[in-house]
Structure 1
Amino acid sequence: MEVYGIFGRDRIELFETMGPELAFVHRIERVHYHKRSKYQDILVGENRLHGKMLILDNVFNVSNLMEAYYHEPMAHIPVGLVNRENIEALIIGGGDFGVAYHLLKHKNIKKIAMCELDGNVVKVCREHFPWGKICEKDPRFKLEIGDGFKYLDNLKENSLDIIIIDSTDPFDKAGILISEEFYTKLKRVIKEDGVIIQLISDFHIYGECYSYVLPRVKKHFIGVKVIAVPVAFYITGYTGMLLFSKNEKMLESSRIPEKFVSNIPDVKTLTDSNIRAFLELPPVLKKFIEKFSTK
């Protein structure tokens, strides 16, 4: 991915290009914050379509008017699949607080730890987006600033019901959050009937990424599903996520209660029927997974 910025007197235009055929332009009408942290460039901009936007290293991440397209599936699908009381969850990344905010809508969530590497992202999002202040008022929520990869070492074996990896797109083959060691650590701390969901990327454009991630995941987890999440403001129109578990039955759509979504307050993108559709893979995704399955 390449990003080009045009910084004019009255506005900023960011061009995200993905190969020679595809590009996306984000026009920023107002800049609220722009500084570089130890880890990345952080920009909070605003326009009429998105409201406030979080842009990291010149790549669009989330906006306050459209966050539900991304955060709701990532948060609610694992809760629906686990479907029990006293759920303990870990979010690796997620510094905008969006996933944690949606998880906390569920009364059966007992505890959430969110481990975000970049403390500056947390501070900026707490100031410019509403979700952080809401989360930090809830006693079930705990914030950890640090390396999520290392944080896993401090957890007990088979201690978590849900793990959500809400990081930047893992394009780098050697990235630590798609490494063999990372999936070994996840397997140690997730319960036998737990569920993990991880942002991956669009499989049409980034098929190569799946070619090394899927075999690594399938080496450690019996149940693995790719889901395509429609996100109108992403460059390809949707993003990909991986669902995986030690028990393949945990990923069956029938596990989600019939009125599950109806009981979640203020849901914008999900219904009781379409949440199950994420788990019923179309032929194109089934073929895609088979292509990269380990024998």
Structure 2
Amino acid sequence: MNAILRRTTTMLCAAVMAVPMALSANAVEPLPNDKGIRYNDYASISESSDYTLTIPATFDIKNSGWNEIGDISASGTLENGKKLVVSAESENGWALKSGENSVGYTMKNAETDTAAADTWDFTNLPASQSIGINVEEYRGKPAGSYTDTVTFTASVEDAAVAVTSLTLDKTSIPYSGGSLMVTVEPSTATDSTVIWKIPDVAHIYSDAEYQNEIATTMIDYYKYTEPMEAGIVYLKRDSGSGSDTITVISNADETKTATSSFEFKYD
């Protein structure tokens, strides 16, 4: 069961022609169905997950363009395998509005970022993330009180379990064909799928009778499968001599591959 903490941030410009804009933040009373909420922005999630979330209470927006807000910070403890997810939602679709008039803005982690930011994951506490907003040019806009409300929501969710290693059950298979089984560690990895990379003269099958060939894509003289569940596959070569390397790659982390090279060889 997730506990949710909500904070609202209201952005206000008394008159667009008078450059300063003000931002204030307030903690709001939790919804009736929210569990584990305490006041002062503190949420007790469980016996082993307790966190405090802090966002800037006030700041001034002095101009169009980039405005540094401050830090989203979280402290406390998280249960093993959990993460704190913070998200922000704008009431006006990321725009300051005055009647029918609006001034758009984008929330980002840094001025140089090209992508907007409205979700942040914290897997280790304490942690923080700086944020700011990029306000569109508003000179020439009608004067008025331009406002928006941003709601920050925090919840504890399951964290992704990373792949730590791949292993294969054989160091080589015969030229005429054979099986390979890949094992992904840990067994609880969030994404345990793998990609097989085989020579262009080889074929990969899902059955020991070599009837059901697995589709591949050719890239630079190697064939690659689509991500597939880890397990046993069957491989053989058409023709040629010598040996070639078979590699299995974690779909979640391409730096994790089988620890040894596995070659086609003559019987």
Question: TM-score, normalization: structure 2?
Answer: 0.20
Q: Could you say which structure has the higher strand fraction?
A: 2
Q: Could you say which structure has the higher helix fraction?
A: 1
Question: TM-score, normalization: structure 1?
Answer: 0.18
